[in-house]
Structure 1
Amino acid sequence: MYLEQLTYIVEVAKTKSISIASKNLHVSPSGISQSINQLENELGIKIFTRTKTATVPTDEGYKIIEKAEEAIIKLLEFKESARMHASLKNEELHITVVPNMSPIILKTIAAFKKDYPNVKIKIIEGLQQDVINATLEGSTDIGITSTRTTSEYLLSHAELINEKLLSSSLMVMVNKNSPLANKKELSPQDLLNHPVSWYYGANQFLHEFMEMYGPLDILITVNNLDMTRRSVAEGLTITFIPEISILDDPYISQGLVTVKPFVMHYPLVQTFWWIRSRKRKYSHVAKEFLNYLTFQISILNSRLHINPNNH
């Protein structure tokens, strides 16, 4: 049994004609007939019934043709995978990402490197504007950034191409022994008398919050997200955290902290995007990495949907 024989029977089944199939495949009708006869003899079954007007599959032939189609698709996928592996050999990929997306990016890199071990990946964390600037300057292949409704205008630059990855509600992380841990959800007023650890990159949100609800007690301001969460685990502060970050968080899994929905007078949603520059080549490795990232995000969304009570 050979690949061309499978190709022939699939094409004949589709066209119901050996002559039309021969034209489509650029093979002589006698060559196709002979090849099909050899396959029928090898399998010991009749694949087609031939009449003066058409060549149609037998009942057993339909089953063989279905399997042949599956085999051809698998082979094409294998060839495409091999071609992609060859084309991505020794490629480099530069990614700039906002910190809240780093855990997802690392999971994506782990999966990606299993299939493309020779691709070198450089990842740099930065604030929202840092990611946009690096993309516009051409120093990164892909930027992973975030916006809220009031800052989506930042992505409107003519040189940027962007696509939404996911949206995430804002939660509040509190120590397990905090009085806030007993509440179902938290309002801005609930937070005013509790020390907060603040990530220094979220200054716009802090300014908006304090304008509407009054000053927050900012105990520490840091440029490391893990430190903000560690301070909650130690019972020093509360902090804000996107819902996408609650899965696999070690402090949550250890039972040291809990997270509560944060309710304001308007929906507080953080949207994450991938962006790239129109002036920088959109490489095969970047396209393939984004396919892997999209898959990881679909898994994340499924877990959040299945486990809505992680908090």
Structure 2
Amino acid sequence: MNLEQLEFIVEVARAGTLTQAAHNKHMTVAGISRSLSFLEKELGVRIFNRSRTGAVPTPEGQMILDKAAAILSQVHQLQAEANSYGKLQNARLRVATIPGPVSLLVDTLTELKKDFPGIRLEMIEKGTKEIIEDVRHNRVDIGFILFPDTILEKNACWHAEPLVEGRMVVGVSRHSALASAKSISLNQLADHQLVLYHDEYIARFIATLGDSVNVLFTSNNIDAILKAVREGIAVTLGTDYTFYGNPDYENGDIVMVNAELPGEQPSYLWCIHPKEQPYSQAAYLFVNRLKMQLNRRR
């Protein structure tokens, strides 16, 4: 059995006669008839009742025709998608993101660039409010932000897709006594200095913990934060996916420990884009590959 045979039987059913089907397919009637006979013999089923007036599907043949049509439809979709990927060689994708998932995004960008060398990818780190404004004014194609609830889905200005629910974790040096702990409570956290990224969500969360936390410094420089943690000067607080793909976490210099914190609400990594503009092919492919990265690491 091959796709050509499936195309032939679908065309016979559509045309109603072998003569018309042969004409539509630029084949001889004998060629169409022979292909049909071979397929019926292979399947052990008569697909058409043939007569001088035409070809009518048998009940069993109609079931085969329905499946053949579905298979051909999927093949055509696959061909169309493959053709659209060819256009990605000259595509441009502008991405804005909070710093947390940068390592994951870089891995995704690298993977995409290997498959499509001609694609132009631009990525910039910003705060949540700035990213929302950039998306609103079409200065970027997609933005990645951290937000605690589902109100983003209801916004009239952009489309928002939750990619992953993050859980709050503490990043500690592998030499820290906390590195072997299964979880860290608020009381334990109070005994250590914190270095934090200057982000609206993290700031709001820290504010809910009151005076029980000791913040050494906040910074927009993620490398400075990781260096302080790696050298055991302080610990940091963030969502689990912010560590995925980070070299310090991947090689074991920084250990991720679950945080047991009161009042913690679910938070999500969201992908947002202008509501009036659906995903471009490049954005769609990028987001799907990012989802694969997240699934592999969770």
TM-score, normalization by structure 2: 0.77
The offset of 1:128, in angstroms, is 1.2
Q: Which residue of 1 aligns with 2:96?
A: 96
How far does the alpha carbon of each residue in 1:15-70 deviate from its partner, in whole angstroms, 9 at most, with x for none? xxx5x4325x9971565863343326888956653546754779xxx8xx98x889
The offset of 1:171, in angstroms, is 0.4
| Whole-angstrom distance in 2 between the partners of 1:46 and 1:136 | 58
**Aligned AA (1:250):** P
Q: Which residue of 2 aligns with 1:128?
A: 128
| Whole-angstrom distance in 1 between the partners of 2:177 and 2:42 | 77
How far does the alpha carbon of each residue in 1:166-215 deviate from its partner, in whole angstroms, 9 at most, with x for none? 1110100122332333432112221123121111124x543553454315
Contact 1:5 1:35 in 2 (8 A): no
Percentage identity across aligned positions? 21
The offset of 1:239, in angstroms, is 0.5
Question: What residue ranges of structure 1 are gaps of 5+ in the alignment?
Answer: 13-17, 305-311
Structure 1 stretch displaced more, 101-110 or 37-46? 37-46
Q: Which residue of 1 aligns with 2:35?
A: 39
| Whole-angstrom distance in 2 between the partners of 1:140 and 1:282 | 12
How far does the alpha carbon of each residue in 1:109-150 deviate from its partner, in whole angstroms, 9 at most, with x for none? 23323333222111111111121111112100111111124x
Summarize the Cα distance change of 1:174–1:296 in structure 2 as closer, same or farther, 3 Å threshold: closer
- From 236, 239, 245, the counterpart of 1:239: 236
| Whole-angstrom distance in 2 between the partners of 1:71 and 1:94 | 36
**What is the root-mean-square deviation in Å for CA atoms of aligned residues?**
3.7
- From 287, 294, 301, the counterpart of 2:291: 294
Contact 1:97 1:143 in 2 (8 A): yes
Summarize the Cα distance change of 1:156–1:286 in structure 2 as closer, same or farther, 3 Å threshold: same
**Aligned AA (2:157):** E
Q: Which residue of 2 aligns with 1:230?
A: 227
Question: What residue ranges of structure 2 are gaps of 5+ in the alignment?
Answer: 51-55
Summarize the Cα distance change of 1:207–1:165 in structure 2 as closer, same or farther, 3 Å threshold: closer
Which structure 2 residues correspond to residues 107-256 of structure 1 after superposition, within 5 A? 107-149=107-149, 153=151, 157-202=155-200, 204-210=201-207, 212-214=209-211, 216-256=213-253
Secondary structure of the corresponding residue to residue 167 of structure 2: strand
| Whole-angstrom distance in 2 between the partners of 1:56 and 1:36 | 21
